[in-house]
A and B are shown apart, each in its own frame.
Chain A
Amino acid sequence: MTNEGGDVGRAGAHAVEVDRLEVAYPARRGREPSVVIRDMSFQVDEGEFVTIVGPSGAGKTTLLLAIDGLIEPSGGEVRVKGRRVTGPGPDRAMVFQEFGLLPWRTVLGNVMLGIELGRLDRAQGERRARELIRLVGLAGYEEHHPHQLSGGMRQRVGLARALAVAPDVLLMDEPFGALDAQTRELMGVELSRIWELDRKTVLFVTHDIDEAVYLADRVIVLSANPARVRRVIDVTLPRPRTREVRASVEFLAHREQLASLLFDADASPLQETVG
C-alpha cells in the first residue's frame, strides 16, 4: 500500500511529521535541478489546525502535494502517524484551490468520488456523503451540477468530498483563494464551525494573514527559495472562533505579529516557538 510499515505507527507519534524534507524538480536541459523545498522540518499533532503561510512561490503547494504523496521527496521524508508517506492514501485528503470538481457529475456524484476510488462500502458511503452535503450547507443541491453552483458552493462540495473518505489529515491548498473576499471570510467561519464538530488534523495553506490567524492553533511561516520553516507562531485565541474573535484585540495582536514577520525586516518576539 502507500504507507510503508518500516516502523509501524507508534502511539504518540505525531499526526504529521515533516522531517528534513527536500523536494527538487529534476534538471532540465542546461539548467540545474531547482530545489523548491530544502531541509524543512515541523510536526503537527493530532487535532491541531495548522496554517501555513509564506511568500508566493514559496513551495507551499509543493509541500502539501508531498504530504499527500503526489510528489516524491528528493530528500528527507514525511510521516503520517509514524508511517512514511510513499503515495496517496485514504488517511489523507486534499481540498484544492480551483475546486477540482468533475463537471459531468452531480454534487452527490462528486462527493462520492473518493468513496468510489477507495472502494469503500457504497451504501454507507452514500449515506455519509448526504450527511456531509447537509453539513456543509448544501442540502437540496445533491442533483445539481457544478456549473450551476457559485464558487463558494463548489468549494463546499470539495470540502465534503474530502471529508467523505474520513481522512486522518485534511490538507487544504488555499481553498478560498479563488473566492471573493466576502465569501472567503464567510467560508472561514463555516470551516471553523465544521471543524469544531470533529477536530481533525488540518494543514491549511493560505496567503491571507487574517485567515491564517483566525483559523489556526499554530501558524507555520515559510521562507522562499528554497522553502524552509522560518518561524512557528502559537495562536492563543479562544475557541470556538466566532466572528467576534476576529474583531478582538488579541486577534489584531497576533495578526500584527504575523504581518510584521512577513513584511518587516525585524519581527516582534511575542510568543513564538521555533518548530
Chain B
Amino acid sequence: MSTLAVGAQLRARRSERVPERARRMAIGALAVVVVLAAWQVVGDLGLVRKEFIGTPLGTLSAGGHLLADGELWSNAQSSLLAFAIGFGISIAIGVPLGLLMGWSRISRELAQAPILMLYVTPRLALLPVIVVWLGIATQAKVVVVVIGAVIPIVINTMAGVRDVDPRLIQVARSFGAGRLGLFTKILLPSATPLMLAGVRLAVGSAVLGVVIAELYVSTSGIGDLISTYGQSYDTDYVVFLVLLTAVFGWAVSALVQVVERRVERWRA
C-alpha cells in the first residue's frame, strides 16, 4: 500500500476517536472542578487556615480588586516590558551565538565552558552584583532574564546546527553550494525546529527571571506585588498573581508551539 493510502487510513481512524477525546477532556475538566471545590471547602471549614492557602473564590475576588483599581495593569506593564526586552535580547544574542558555536569548532570549544558555568549559577546569587551595577530598574530585570533565557536558546540552536544530516550537505555541495548557500539553504532550515524548541524552553526561564528579580529588588512589577501581598499574608492576592504569571508563561509558550508546528509540517 502506498504511503499516501496508509496515511489516509490513519486519519480516518483518528477522526473516529473524537468522541473519545471529548470524553477525556470532560474528565479532565471534572477533575479540576473537584479540586477547586475541595480547595474552597477546606478553607471555608477552617480545616486549613485561609492565610496558608487561600480559596478559589477569594482568589477571584482578589483578582477583581486588582483589576478594578488599576494596580494590576500598571505593574503588569512593568513586568511585560522587562520580559519583552529581555526575551527579545535573549533571542537576538542566543540564535547567532548558537549558530556560530554549531558551525565553528573553535568558538564552540571556547564558549562551552563559560556557558555551562552560567547555566549552573543561580541567578539570585548574581542579583546583588547586578543591582550594584545597574540599579533596581528595568535594566537589572532584563539582565536577569537574559542570563537565564539565553542559555537554552544557544544550546538548542547549536545542537540544531550540529545535527544537520551530512548527506544533505554533500548533496548541496554537489549542486555547487558555497558556504553561504550551505548556510541559508541547508543549515538554517535544518536547525530551525531545534532552535524554536530552545526558544520555547527559554520562555519559562524568562518569566521566572522577571518575577525573581522583582521579588527581591524592584519597586514595581508583578513580582513586587507578590512580595508586598505576601508580606501582609494576603494569600488570595498572592495565589491570583502566581496563577496569572503561570498562565502568562503557558500562553507565550503555547504561542511558540503554534509557530513550531507550522514550521514543522514537513516532519513525518
Contacts and interface: CB of A to CB of B under 8 A. Distances in A.
A65 to B, nearest CB: 8
A53 interface: no
B64 interface: no
A70 B173 contact: yes
B4, B171, B186, B267 interface centre (most CB from chain A within 10 Å): B171
Contacts of B174: 68, 70, 88, 93-94
Interface in B238-268: 265-268
Given A70-B174, A118-B175, A104 B190 contact: yes
B175 A117 contact: yes
B171 A100 contact: yes
A40 interface: no
A103 B190 CA distance: 9
A148 B167 contact: no
A275 to B, nearest CB: 25
A55 to B, nearest CB: 23
Contact of B167 (A2, A68, A88, A96): A96
B2 interface: yes
A90 B266 contact: no
Interface residues of A, number: 27
A206 B265 CA distance: 34
Contacts of A113: 171-172, 175, 185
Interface string A125-161: 0000000000000000000011111100000000000
Contact of A96 (B7, B171, B268): B171
A102 B175 contact: no
A94 B170 CA distance: 10
Contacts of B186: 102
B176 A100 contact: no
Interface string B163-192: 000011011111111000100011001101
Contacts of B189: 102, 104-105
A148 B3 contact: yes
Nearest to B7: A148
Given A103-B266, A148-B7, A118 B176 contact: yes
Interface string A222-250: 00000000000000000000000000000
B175 A114 contact: yes
Contact of B173 (A88, A102, A104): A88
A80 B85 CA distance: 57
A23 interface: no
B167 A98 contact: yes
A177 interface: no
Contacts of B170: 70, 96, 100
Contacts of B3: 148-150
B176 A90 contact: yes
Contacts of A165: 175
A169 to B, nearest CB: 12
Nearest to A69: B174
A47 interface: no
A89 B171 contact: no
Interface string B51-91: 00000000000000000000000000000000000000000
Nearest to B186: A102
Interface in A82-131: 88-90, 93-94, 96, 98, 100, 102-105, 113-114, 116-118
A145 B266 CA distance: 6
A100 B268 contact: no
B263 to A, nearest CB: 8
B3 to A, nearest CB: 5
A149 B173 CA distance: 24
A24 to B, nearest CB: 19
A150 B7 CA distance: 12
Given A100-B167, A102-B189, A147 B176 contact: no
Contacts of B175: 88, 93, 113-114, 117-118, 165
Given A102-B186, A104-B189, A147 B171 contact: no
Interface string B189-212: 110100000000000000000000
A96 B167 CA distance: 9
6 contacts: A98-B167, A102-B189, A113-B171, A146-B266, A147-B266, A148-B7
Q: Which 10 A-B pairs have the closest CB atoms?
A: A100-B171, A147-B268, A114-B175, A145-B266, A104-B266, A117-B175, A104-B189, A94-B174, A117-B177, A117-B176
Given A70-B173, A104-B189, 20 more contacts: A68-B174, A70-B174, A89-B176, A94-B171, A94-B174, A96-B170, A100-B167, A100-B170, A100-B171, A102-B189, A103-B266, A103-B267, A104-B190, A104-B266, A105-B266, A117-B181, A147-B266, A147-B268, A148-B7, A149-B3
